[in-house]
Amino acid sequence: RRVHGGYGLCVAKAQYPIAEIVEMLKKKGKKVRFGIHPVAGRMPGQLNVLLAEAGVPYDIVLEMDEINDDFHDTDLVLVIGANDTVNSAAEEDPNSIIAGMPVLRVWTSKQVVVVKRTLGVGYAAVDNPIFFKENTGMLLGDAKKMCDGLLTKLKDDS
């Protein structure tokens, strides 16, 4: 399991339910890691600090270069409030204005769940093809409310 957060996670303060979800999954024997883009949260290190504040163990918080090659072996990636940092157009569309930009290759995993308020574009104003890939499911809404809902569901199923 992989989690990638972005600006939306930071704004919504979803790090607290995410930290609880991580703890529950780890207790069930699941391997959970965070993939952090260098500019996740709009400035370097912002997401790392927020995750640390919520009690996420630092040893499962990995930089993009440490985790990118693992996505193809990953069952599920949960993308929370991120857009440009996971935009496959950077690698798949040579005519895109973000072509060549380093991104987390979440779309190569078996399944992707994206939590976002809308299907709108990110800061770079580029549509994100991963929203429409067959292995992607979308949870549209406020990141904290969606993560609270996921946490409640996990608790109910325990």
The two three-digit tokens of residue 38, written as one number: 């260098």
In a structure prediction context, what are the per-residue pLDDT tens digits for the chain, which is 158 residues long? Answer: 555 566 566 667 788 999 999 999 999 999 999 999 888 766 778 888 888 999 999 999 999 999 999 999 999 999 988 899 999 999 999 999 999 999 999 999 999 999 998 888 888 899 999 999 999 999 999 888 999 999 999 999 87
User: What is the enclosing helix (H) or strand (E) of 98?
Assistant: none
Report d(CA 30, CA 39) in Å as an integer: 27
The Cα–Cα gap between 124 and 149 comes to 29
State the pLDDT at residue 15: 86
* Active site (catalytic) residues: 7, 42, 123
Give which of 112, 106, 154, 146 is closest to 8, Cα–Cα.
Answer: 146
Sequence-distant (≥ 6) Cβ neighbours of residue 91 within 8 angstroms:
99, 103, 105
pLDDT of amino acid 3: 59
Decide: helix, strand or coil at residue 81.
coil
pTM, two decimal places: 0.90
Residue 151 confidence (pLDDT) = 92
Within a 13 Å sphere around the CA of 56, how many CA atoms are in the beta-carbon half? 27
* pLDDT for res 26: 93
Neighbours of 34 (CB within 10 A): 24
Residue 8, pLDDT score: 64
